[in-house]
Amino acid sequence: MRALHFDGTTASLIDAAEPQRADGDAVIDVTLAGVCNTDLELTKGYMGFTGILGHELVGVVADGPAEWRGRRVVAEINFACGGCEWCARGLGRHCPTRRVMGILRADGAFAEQVAVPVANLHAVPDGVADEAAVFVEPLAAAFEILEQVRVEPGQSCIVLGDGKLGLLAAQVLHAAGADVLAVGKHAGKLAHLARRGVRTVRLDEWVRERAALVVEATGSAAGFEMAVAATEPRGTLVLKSTVAHGAPLNLAPLVIDEITVVGSRCGPFAPALAALASGAVDVGALISARRRLRDGVAAVQQAAQPGVIKVLLEP
Amino acid sequence: MRALHFDGTTASLIDAAEPQRADGDAVIDVTLAGVCNTDLELTKGYMGFTGILGHELVGVVADGPAEWRGRRVVAEINFACGGCEWCARGLGRHCPTRRVMGILRADGAFAEQVAVPVANLHAVPDGVADEAAVFVEPLAAAFEILEQVRVEPGQSCIVLGDGKLGLLAAQVLHAAGADVLAVGKHAGKLAHLARRGVRTVRLDEWVRERAALVVEATGSAAGFEMAVAATEPRGTLVLKSTVAHGAPLNLAPLVIDEITVVGSRCGPFAPALAALASGAVDVGALISARRRLRDGVAAVQQAAQPGVIKVLLEP
């Protein structure tokens, strides 16, 4: 089958063997897959990954238990062991022996087919189109904020970064009743949020007020110190970016202002699917391009261009 | 009066004017003052402070309201405005216009006398000796951990660093029922904790297990990444060190393991005084030297030597 593979140096299209279905797995025919910033990082060496890329998908179960075959599904990306103390606590996303689809010791969804544990499947409600369902994984990562931090109605909140995750986090916090100010560099991206009723400002016009809750989704090392400066004393900074590798950082303000930094990664799929079904979050405007998998290398490069939001791949 | 003054470059003994008592202030005759790592940092330029150093003291009220005159007191170090929203919320320690004794726009306690707001005074119980009461300020900083983080009885907890704050934090957490492992470089310092029933290990013999609660009190930039590595996924890292200025740091593990970092500074005096009165925390063994203020310059240098814990100054 056709697949977009990273060999540790180069991403290229290969003819891969079809995935083997192990016990407890399902094989999914991929309908659509989304390119994520993490994919771009992986192709720069992040996590030392080699294999088929891709961890955002919607598809149809081709092989697996009878009750799942033919159903339209999305799939959680952390493949947990199911038997350790973390899994017993419901924290399979932190299972120490987990594999992660397209990120850690598991092939991903930039392919015609992908194998995932049946336990990771979620059926897509009829009212949610494929073009929306493919956003469930990053939207769940935005909902993770609500799982980790108490958000009061009307609470002022600053979201830094107008990339995919920033745009989703701002919508999720807005839908949760927070008074969100989204700060970004791209007028076009911010316009999507403004149409949803979110207050927005361009970084170069921002007066740098502070808030008790700040979400750092800039994807840049400089974003962290900007986010710290935007967080009120005793406030909470939710850290979403993973790219601040080895940058010189001054942590003294965290101590002086007693700021709490909450590292935040993957999140729950159920509320993300519900928000897509209800229309509480809109993702349609976030699709910049829809490309064929055979053009996958160019599509990943396109996803890295300024102004581009989400690039979708279809086998 | 005699005072230890820092002019932005050099710490030296000066003959200073006696403090003027403003409205709402008391003037304290200093009985004992303690040298803190922050004093050492200040003499390297931290906070850009100039003035009389010192923020840990016990003394007797020489001038002030009648009900306070002649009483033995300790004093909170943040001089808040009392009128802003932060003060109204009981967070005067974060008042944006605060002065801080011996740290920020307020003369300190390495002097014969110091002026502090009456609102900052706490009477010292009769059963608490001056040599214990002088530890109230750093002990309160250790109690701040309990104010910010929920500590369950029996919860495993790692305290990194066997400096003054680490030794106090380990005792406070131990007294709160946590299962504390104190990690440090100095066998002599760790022995104080072992005598109090705290488990201890030298850094070079530590097997690097992880815990759900980690306190970073190493005072070194390298301590932060060690503390992150010692924190379990979804665990909490209490950050006490303020010296990690501009060091290259990798924050990706915070996101991947969804670690919460809680910046922690000054704390509540009341529980610290109560713990000294009850004997729940012992500070007597932490006194390395007691010097005259006239030897203050040498005393501050002595406090920076390896193996030295607390150096006290008496006018």
Q: pLDDT band for B45, please (50, 70, 90 cuts).
A: confident
> Could you read off the pLDDT of A30-43 as tens digits, one per residue?
999 999 988 998 99
Residues of B with CB below 8 A from A77's CB? Answer: none
**A157-176: pLDDT as tens digits:** 999 999 999 999 999 999 99
pLDDT score at B123: 98
CB pairs under 8 A between A and B: 112
pLDDT of residue A26: 98
* Contacts for B39 with CB less than 8 Å, ≥ 6 apart: B53, B54, B55, B102, B300, B303
Q: What is the C-alpha to C-alpha distance for residues A295 and B42, in angstroms, rounded to an integer?
A: 59
Of B239, B250, B258, the CB nearest to A264: B258
Please tell me the distance in Å from A91's CA to the nearest CA on chain B.
9
Closest CA to A93 of B257, B97, B153, B304: B257
Give contacts of B49 with chain A, Cβ < 8 Å.
none
Collect all residues of chain A within an 8 Å Cβ-Cβ radius of residue B45. none
Residue A250 has pLDDT above 90, yes or no: no
Quickly state the pLDDT bin for B245 (edges 50, 70, 90).
low
Show residues of chain A in contact with B229, CB under 8 Å.
none
Average pLDDT over residues A120-128: 97
pLDDT of residue A55: 97
Residue-level pLDDT at B249: 83
What is the ipTM for the molecules in this complex? 0.93
Residue B238 has pLDDT above 70, yes or no: yes
Q: Does the distance separating the beta carbons of A264 and B261 come in below 8 Å?
A: no
> Whole-number mean pLDDT of chain B?
95
Q: Inter-chain contact A249–B254, Cβ cutoff 8 Å?
A: no
Q: Please write the tens of the pLDDT for every residue from A179-205.
A: 999 999 999 999 999 999 999 999 999
When pLDDT is averaged across residues B64-78 and rounded to a whole number, the result is 97
- Quickly count: other Cβ atoms within 10 Å of residue A38's Cβ: 24
**Structure confidence at residue A247 as a pLDDT band (50, 70, 90):** confident
Q: Please tell me the distance in Å from B52's CA to the nearest CA on chain A.
A: 21
pLDDT of residue A45: 87
- Enumerate residues 153 to 212 of chain A having a beta carbon within 8 A of any beta carbon in chain B: none
Given this model, what pLDDT does residue A245 score? Answer: 66
How much is the average pLDDT of B223-252? 88
Q: B170 to chain A, minimum CA–CA distance in Å? A: 18
**Count of Cβ atoms closer than 10 Å to residue A125 Cβ:** 13
pLDDT tens, residue by residue, B100-113 = 999 999 999 999 99
Q: What is the 3-class SS of B136-183, one letter each residue?
A: HHHHHHHHHHHHHCCCCCCCEEEEECCCHHHHHHHHHHHHCCCEEEEE
pLDDT tens for each residue of A99-122: 999 999 999 999 999 999 999 999
Find out whether B186 and B162 touch, Cβ atoms under 8 Å. Answer: yes
Rounded Cα distance, A170 and A190, in Å: 10
B249 inside 8 A of chain A by CB: yes
pLDDT on residue A243: 65
Given this model, what pLDDT does residue B290 score?
Answer: 97
CA distance linking residue A257 with residue A236, whole number of Å: 11
- The nearest CA of chain A is from the CA of B122 a distance in Å of 23
What does the block give as tokens for A81? Answer: 């062991």
The per-residue pLDDT for B172 is: 98
**Mutate which of B220, B226, B251, B265 to test chain A, going by most A C-beta atoms within 10 A?**
B251
pLDDT digit string, tens, across residues B251-293: 889 999 999 999 999 999 999 999 999 999 999 989 999 999 9
Structure tokens that stand for A283 in this block: 């993702």
Q: Which residue of chain A is at minimal alpha-carbon distance from B245?
A: A250
Which chain A residues are Cβ-neighbours of B233 within 8 angstroms?
Answer: 86, 91, 94
Contact state of A244 with B252 under an 8 Å Cβ cutoff: yes
A248 falls in which pLDDT band (50, 70, 90)? confident
Mean of pLDDT values over B26-48 = 93
Q: Above pLDDT 70, what percent of chain B?
A: 99
Mean pLDDT of A277-287: 94
Determine the pLDDT at residue B57. 98
Residue B244 has pLDDT above 70, yes or no: no
> Is A244's pLDDT higher than 70?
no
Q: Do the chains contact at A265 and B246, CB–CB below 8 Å?
A: no
Using DSSP bridges, classify how beta strands A25-34 and A56-63 pair: parallel, antiparallel or unpaired.
Answer: antiparallel
- A255 and chain B: CB distance < 8 Å anywhere? yes
pTM of the model: 0.93
Give the model's pLDDT for residue A221.
Answer: 79
Of A90-104, A288-302, B230-244, B273-287, the poorest mean pLDDT is in: B230-244
Closest Cβ opposite residue B244 in set A239, A252, A256? A252
Mean pLDDT computed over A234-254: 85
Q: Name which of B148, B249, B256 is nearest A249 (Cβ-Cβ).
A: B249
Close Cβ partners of A119 (under 8 Å, ≥ 6 residues apart) = A24, A80, A82
Of B241, B242, B257, which has the smallest distance from its Cβ to A94's Cβ? B257
